[in-house]
């Protein structure tokens, strides 16, 4: 039975349930900024300068790539958000921090993202 005295509230447009924006439209980059921030927040807790590139590659493949997968299954994120996430992954892999400049990147990111069978790292 429904209680008529019970008050219900409608969430605001930026409210999220399980970390996914509640919207019927494609979310904007501003709505997905908490996702980018949560991926970037993982980096300071890891001691990247103590790891070799193989250790950083394992973290990129297992953690940094897995965090946004839940939300990307529900909707197609904007290209700006995808570029920000790739920038964080690229920076952590090559330089051990959130941003890598051109001199730190040894291989084109497209080659890194290729499957291992085709000469990439499988990111």
Residue 2 belongs to some domain of the structure: no
pTM value is 0.74
Instruction: List C-alpha distances in Å: 19 to 9, 29, 34.
Output: 19, 14, 9
pLDDT tens digits, residue range 76-114? 889 999 999 988 888 888 877 767 666 677 778 888 888
Distance CA 36, CA 105 (A): 21
Residue 77 belongs to some domain of the structure: yes
Residue 59 belongs to some domain of the structure: yes
Residue 45 belongs to some domain of the structure: yes
Residue 19 belongs to some domain of the structure: no
pLDDT tens digits, residue range 8-32? 555 555 555 556 667 778 888 888 8
Per the structure, the complete domain to which residue 55 belongs is given by 30-118
As for how many domains the chain has, the answer is 1
Residue 114 belongs to some domain of the structure: yes
Residue 18 belongs to some domain of the structure: no
């Amino acid at each position: 039975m429904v209680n008529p005295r019970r008050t219900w509230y409608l969430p605001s447009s930026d409210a999220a349930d399980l970390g996914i924006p509640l919207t019927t439209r494609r979310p904007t980059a501003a709505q997905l900024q908490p996702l980018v921030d949560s991926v970037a927040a993982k980096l300071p807790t890891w001691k990247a300068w103590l790891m070799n590139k193989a250790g950083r590659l394992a973290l990129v493949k297992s953690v940094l790539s897995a965090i946004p997968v839940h939300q990307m299954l529900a909707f197609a994120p904007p290209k700006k958000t995808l570029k920000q996430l790739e920038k964080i992954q690229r920076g952590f892999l090559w330089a051990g921090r959130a941003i890598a400049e051109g001199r730190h990147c040894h291989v084109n990111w497209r080659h890194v993202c290729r499957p291992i069978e085709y000469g990439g790292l499988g990111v």
